[in-house]
């Protein structure tokens, strides 16, 4: 079992009535990888993730999660569930328990829970340890969700839009936590609408649109990004000039000669992941 990839999906189809929410998905996530699913609203990300978690049934296709079919029921399913951690898009249960009570309560469900205090520190809730869940801000509530996802020392962690509502500092410390989990061997499947988050965290990303995978690649090579021409910008005659080039160094050298040194307000830009992604899903020409 330890030889199998963390996740294997082939020919996955999910129909809601006449609508195909997933129209045949093929995907493999290796153990230890951070893999991000990107796609616009309604693309099929949550449907995919919830089938992998065993919360929805596939219409057809094959799915294996830690070597196990998530649609299986019974005691084997319970053992399997112990090895996965889940952070759903939104939760609002146990609002009357404190942070520490909620996390301690969840820790009891697992065979090998992480240390409760350590998890509280890792998600940055030390100051709110005795606050009730309903007294937390949106971003703090989200950190509690993440704590509940990782308390069971999962081999595989599902994160559905985990940093929605986080301030920039909280997002960065969350990224650190995810990198730490990866260094400890955890596999992570992430859905996010933040392209900087995918860029910062993911080993590979899959862009999904209309129930189909458009491309699977590393963030740096998606959509031919590494080979895309660079944009060179500078100020001349009172306005910003721009050109696109496959050899921006050469262009900069030419400009430098022309200006006899300093090029006013020089910038050399490569398309970022967001631009490439928006082009891929047809939102940017």
Q: What is the total count of residues that contact ligand ATP (CB under 6 A)?
A: 10
Q: Is 89 helix (H, G, I), strand (E, B) or coil?
A: coil
Using CB under 6 A as the binding rule, whether residue 42 contacts ligand ATP is answered as: yes
Q: How many CB atoms lie within 10 A of CB 27?
A: 21
Stretch that binds ligand ATP, among 3-11, 38-46, 59-67, 218-226 (CB under 6 A): 38-46
Binding mask 10-29 for ligand ATP (x = CB under 6 A): ------x----x--------
Residues in 45-104 that interact with ligand ATP by CB under 6 A: 45-47
**Min dist. Cβ of residue 12 to ligand ATP (A):** 12
Stretch that binds ligand ATP, among 40-48, 59-67, 120-128, 199-207 (CB under 6 A): 40-48
Please tell me the distance from the alpha carbon of residue 204 to that of residue 216, in angstroms, as a whole number: 7
Torsion angle of C-alpha atoms 209, 210, 216, 220, degrees rounded to 10? 0
Using CB under 6 A as the binding rule, whether residue 43 contacts ligand ATP is answered as: yes
Stretch that binds ligand ATP, among 41-49, 60-68, 165-173, 236-244 (CB under 6 A): 41-49
Please tell me the distance from the alpha carbon of residue 150 to that of residue 156, in angstroms, as a whole number: 9
How do strand 60-65 and strand 7-16 relate by DSSP bridges?
antiparallel
Q: Are 48 and 29 in contact (CB under 8 A)?
A: no
Give the interface with ligand ATP as residue ranges (CB under 6 A).
16, 21, 39, 41-47
């Amino acid at each position: 079992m330890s030889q199998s990839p963390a996740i294997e999906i082939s020919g996955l189809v999910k129909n809601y009535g006449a609508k195909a929410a997933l129209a045949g998905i093929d995907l493999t996530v290796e153990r230890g990888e951070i893999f991000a699913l990107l796609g616009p609203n309604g693309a099929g990300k949550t449907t995919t993730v919830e089938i992998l978690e065993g919360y929805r049934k596939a219409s057809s296709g094959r799915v294996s999660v830690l070597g196990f079919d998530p649609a299986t029921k019974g005691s084997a399913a319970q053992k399997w569930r112990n090895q996965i951690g889940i952070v759903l898009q939104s939760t609002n249960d146990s609002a009357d328990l404190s942070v520490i009570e909620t996390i301690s309560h969840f820790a009891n469900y697992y065979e090998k829970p992480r240390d409760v205090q350590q998890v509280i520190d890792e998600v940055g809730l030390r100051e709110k340890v005795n606050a009730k869940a309903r007294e937390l801000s949106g971003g703090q509530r989200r950190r509690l969700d993440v704590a509940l996802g990782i308390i069971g020392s999962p081999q595989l962690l599902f994160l559905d839009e985990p940093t929605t509502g986080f301030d920039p500092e909280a997002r960065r410390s969350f990224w650190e936590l995810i990198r730490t989990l990866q260094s400890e061997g955890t596999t992570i499947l992430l859905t996010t609408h933040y392209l900087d988050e995918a860029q910062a965290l993911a080993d590979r990303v899959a862009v999904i649109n209309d129930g189909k995978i458009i491309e699977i690649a590393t963030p740096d090579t998606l959509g031919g990004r590494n080979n895309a021409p660079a944009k060179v910008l500078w100020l001349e005659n009172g306005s910003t000039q721009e050109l696109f080039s496959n050899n921006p160094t050469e262009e900069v050298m030419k400009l430098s000669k022309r200006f006899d040194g300093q090029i006013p307000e020089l910038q050399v830009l490569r398309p970022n992941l967001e631009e490439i992604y928006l082009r891929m899903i047809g939102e940017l020409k």
